[in-house]
């Protein structure tokens, strides 16, 4: 009753909604980079919210199923095939023992998510199944998954094919070339000149290939601060846009350290974090300001969308 890793891909790991409550002991929250896609993966197979999934980045793995089960893929399109048959995103897929899922390089976006109906049967560490790749911490699978790893699942399931799937529109944000990203004013925004702020909001930035789960290193016109003093280390979070002395911004991602020492020009609103997380190196990112009220309204809107989708799939699974 397991998923067997046959080819590891570039960066495949177990992630859930993160390890909360231990930042004051220095632990990163970690968890999925694209929470929208990961939640849709769980919704498709009617799992409880926050169930652990596989996060498969850049180049996907090959996985052999060692039980009958129902899986779903969401997020970046990695030209998924099971024993040669192409697989749609956002659709429950019954698989049988011995079949192999093969993923390739992401065509658009970076991260693809795999959920298994009933969830992955792996232990939690400090309340979460998420691997922390930088510290090599987690449950049984602390880092990247490797060839030969066998990830137990909770419940095998035999099923006929499903006739429905989620709308591909739900993944349209991944296919857009130009990424519009809204941000709240950072706590040190007044350390930056008007010129720097207007550069930041009027010229494109691009993610560099050095980006990883800790942070996306951006490249564009440099942002300089007026202050010569150092920032006293304070909290930083997923979405914090900090600017080191070289003026090239870094967006802290899911594996952000709990605290940071660079001035913050902004904080990306949560609704736009999935969009940014899927931005491949070289894609233009355009930053624009947003208000806290707008950001919190988007959270509510998002929750309503996910609830509606969940009601739909729950109903469909009842017919099952």
Site for another protein, rule CB under 8 A:
20-27, 125-126, 134-135, 137, 184, 187, 232-235, 237, 239-240, 257-259, 267, 269-270, 292-293, 295-296, 299-300, 303
Closer Cβ to another protein, 99 or 298, answer by number: 298
Q: Which is nearer to another protein, 146 or 303 (CB)?
A: 303
Return the ∠ at Cα 25 (arms to 22 and 30), rounded to 5°.
45
What is the nearest approach in angstroms of another protein to the Cβ of residue 294?
10
Question: Which residue number, 125 or 192, has a Cβ lying nearer to another protein?
Answer: 125
Least separation in angstroms between CB 267 and another protein:
5
Closer to another protein by Cβ: residue 64 or 270: 270
Map 12-70 to HEC letters: EEEECCCCCCCHHHCCCCCCCCCHHHHHHHHHHCCCCCCCCEEEEECECCEEEECCCEE
Give whole-number Cα distances, 21 to 18, 141, 209, in Å: 10, 21, 31
Shortest Å distance, C-beta 131 to another protein: 14
Residues 272 and 238 sit within 8 Å (Cβ to Cβ): no
Rounded to the nearest whole angstrom, what is the least distance from the CB of residue 13 to another protein in the complex? Answer: 17
Alpha carbon separation from 130 to 27, 39, 305 (Å, rounded): 12, 15, 25
CB nearer another protein, residue 137 or residue 221: 137
Q: Closest distance between another protein and the C-beta of residue 73, in Å? A: 27
For 252, left (φ over 0), alpha (ψ -120 to 50), or beta?
beta
Q: Which is nearer to another protein, 97 or 124 (CB)?
A: 124
Task: Please state, in angstroms and rounded to a whole number, the distance separating the CA atoms of residues 97 and 87.
Answer: 17
Report in angstroms how near the CB of residue 183 gets to another protein at its nearest. Answer: 10
From the CB of 6, what's the least distance to another protein, in Å?
Answer: 30
Give the chain's length: 320
- For 202-206, the CB contacts below 8 A with 24+ separation are 204/178, 204/284, 204/285, 204/286, 205/249, 205/284, 205/285, 205/287, 206/281, 206/282, 206/283, 206/284, 206/285
If the CB atoms of residues 118 and 186 are measured against another protein, the closer one turns out to be 186
């Amino acid at each position: 009753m397991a998923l067997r890793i046959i080819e590891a891909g570039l960066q495949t790991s177990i992630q859930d909604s993160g390890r909360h409550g231990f930042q004051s002991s220095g632990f990163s929250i970690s968890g999925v980079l694209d929470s929208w896609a990961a939640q849709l993966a769980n919704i498709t197979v009617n799992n409880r919210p926050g169930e652990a999934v596989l996060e498969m980045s850049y180049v996907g793995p090959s996985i052999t199923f060692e039980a009958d089960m129902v899986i779903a893929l969401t997020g970046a399109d990695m030209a998924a095939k099971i024993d040669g048959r192409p697989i749609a995103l956002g659709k429950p897929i019954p698989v049988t023992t011995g079949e192999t899922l093969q993923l390739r390089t992401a065509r658009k976006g970076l991260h693809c998510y795999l959920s298994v109906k009933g969830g992955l049967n792996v232990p939690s560490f400090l309340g979460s199944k998420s691997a922390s790749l930088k510290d090599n911490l987690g449950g049984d699978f602390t880092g990247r998954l490797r060839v030969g790893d066998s990830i137990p699942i909770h419940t095998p399931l035999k099923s006929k094919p499903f006739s429905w799937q989620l709308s591909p529109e739900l993944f349209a944000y991944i296919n857009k070339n130009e990424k519009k990203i809204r941000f709240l004013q950072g706590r040190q925004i007044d350390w930056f000149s008007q010129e720097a702020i207007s550069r930041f909001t009027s010229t494109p930035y691009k993610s560099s290939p050095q980006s990883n789960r800790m942070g996306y290193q951006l490249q564009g016109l440099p942002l300089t601060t007026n202050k010569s003093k150092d920032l006293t280390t304070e909290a930083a979070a997923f979405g914090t846009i900090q600017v080191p002395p070289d003026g090239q911004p870094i967006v802290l991602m899911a594996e952000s350290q709990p605290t940071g020492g660079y001035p913050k020009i902004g904080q990306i609103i949560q609704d736009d974090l999935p969009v940014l997380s899927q931005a491949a190196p070289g894609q233009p990112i355009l930053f624009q300001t947003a208000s806290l009220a707008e950001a919190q309204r988007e959270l509510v809107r998002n929750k309503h969308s996910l609830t509606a989708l969940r009601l739909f799939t729950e109903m469909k699974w009842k017919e099952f």
